[in-house]
A and B are shown apart, each in its own frame.
Chain A
Amino acid sequence: MVALTIVRLRNIFAVVMLSGIYSFLMATTFLVLDAVDVAFTEAAVGAGITTVLGLAAMALTTDREKIPTHWPTLPLAVVVVTGAILLYAVPDMPRFGAADSPIHRHVVPRYIDETPRAIGIPNIVTSVLADYRGYDTLGEVTVIFTAGVGVLLLLGRTRRRPKGSTK
């Protein structure tokens, strides 16, 4: 519902706010689905950072969207086809909530069995994140690092400090 409204609205301020609400709803959904860590992150990132950033960017640009002049045949077609392919796959997906689908039987049981013994911490998400798949997380930090470097390059001020001065 919220998502639909975002499509319709032309006032960017409202859109940014609504997308914050959308993230919050998503976070709640994640919570219901037992993904506590993800819910926490989505709430902090989606509803927090994204909204602040969106508002900041909006303040620097404009808050009205122009009314489109064309009828969106092609984009609509692309979207419908993409959605259809996904929907086509749904009937063959493992039943929602079933404990015997492949992802629960392969790989993961070892994480759950072994974590308390080998790593000694109770939060399995943390143990997988930081240890078993720690390399992914290194990549994740690098992505954040890249974003920082990128934003500095794009928006940072180019003040020349006199040579020899250190931080």
Chain B
Amino acid sequence: MAANFVYVFAIVIAMIGFYVVIDRGNLLKKLIGLNIFQTAVFLIYISMGKISGGTAPILYDGDAPFSNPLPHVLILTAIVVGVATLALGLGLVVRIKEAYGTIEEDEIQAQEAAEEDGP
């Protein structure tokens, strides 16, 4: 367990982010939580690629082992996906603010419930 403390660390951060997503009512903060959650998952991927004493996977003279490039590639893609999601989410938040006048989950739900009871 001790050798794998990096994973434990990443998991704890991931769970903090996850908690923010599912518990917080502020839509903006939810998105930031999502971001934290995802970045921590990226850390898990990157950690598994590390080789002790290794170097970055760019070929130079020298014979130190290379850290594993594949997780790096995957995470580059995942970061991009993450920022795309974030941009869309923020766009939605802005529109929600314009439509409802608030970005608090419970207030939006209250407004929707009121609509349903009304005509």
A touches B in complex, CB < 8 A = yes
Say whether A86 contacts B94, CB under 8 Å. no
Q: Which residues of B contact A107 (CB under 8 A)?
A: 70
Say whether B42 contacts A38, CB under 8 Å. yes
Known: A33-B67, A115-B59. 20 other contacts (CB 8 A): A30-B42, A30-B46, A41-B76, A46-B79, A50-B83, A53-B90, A54-B32, A65-B26, A72-B23, A75-B22, A83-B11, A83-B14, A87-B11, A93-B7, A96-B5, A103-B48, A125-B76, A144-B84, A151-B91, A154-B91
Say whether B29 contacts A101, CB under 8 Å. no
> How many inter-chain contacts with C-beta < 8 Å in the A-B complex?
251
Interface of B is mostly: helix
A-B contact pairs, 12 of them (CB 8 A): A50-B86, A60-B94, A60-B97, A68-B25, A69-B106, A78-B22, A94-B48, A103-B48, A103-B68, A136-B77, A137-B77, A147-B83
Closest to B84 in A: A147
Which A residues, 93 to 136, have Cβ-Cβ distances below 8 Å to chain B? 93-99, 101, 103-104, 107-108, 111-112, 115-116, 122-125, 128-129, 133, 136
Return A146 CB to nearest CB of chain B, in Å. 7
Q: CA of A79 to CA of B6 in the docked complex: distance in angstroms? A: 19
Q: CA of A78 to CA of B18 in the docked complex: distance in angstroms? A: 9
A33-B29 in contact given A45-B79, A108-B68 (Cβ < 8 Å): no
Q: Which residues of A contact B87 (CB under 8 A)?
A: 53, 147, 150-151
Say whether A143 contacts B84, CB under 8 Å. yes
Among B18, B46, B97, chain A packs the most CB atoms within 10 A around the CB of: B46
Q: Interface of A with B (CB < 8 Å)?
A: 3-4, 6-7, 12, 15-16, 19, 22-23, 26, 29-30, 33-38, 41-42, 45-46, 49-50, 53-54, 56-58, 60-62, 65-66, 68-69, 72, 75-76, 78-80, 82-83, 86-87, 90-91, 93-99, 101, 103-104, 107-108, 111-112, 115-116, 122-125, 128-129, 133, 136-137, 139-140, 143-144, 146-147, 150-151, 154-155
Q: CA of A19 to CA of B3 in the docked complex: distance in angstroms? A: 28
Q: How many residues of B contact A (CB 8 A)?
A: 80
Say whether A103 contacts B49, CB under 8 Å. yes
Q: Interface of B with A (CB < 8 Å)?
A: 1, 3-8, 11-20, 22-26, 28-29, 32-33, 35-36, 39, 42-43, 46-52, 54-60, 65-77, 79-88, 90-95, 97, 102-104, 106-107
Return B70 CB to nearest CB of chain A, in Å. 5
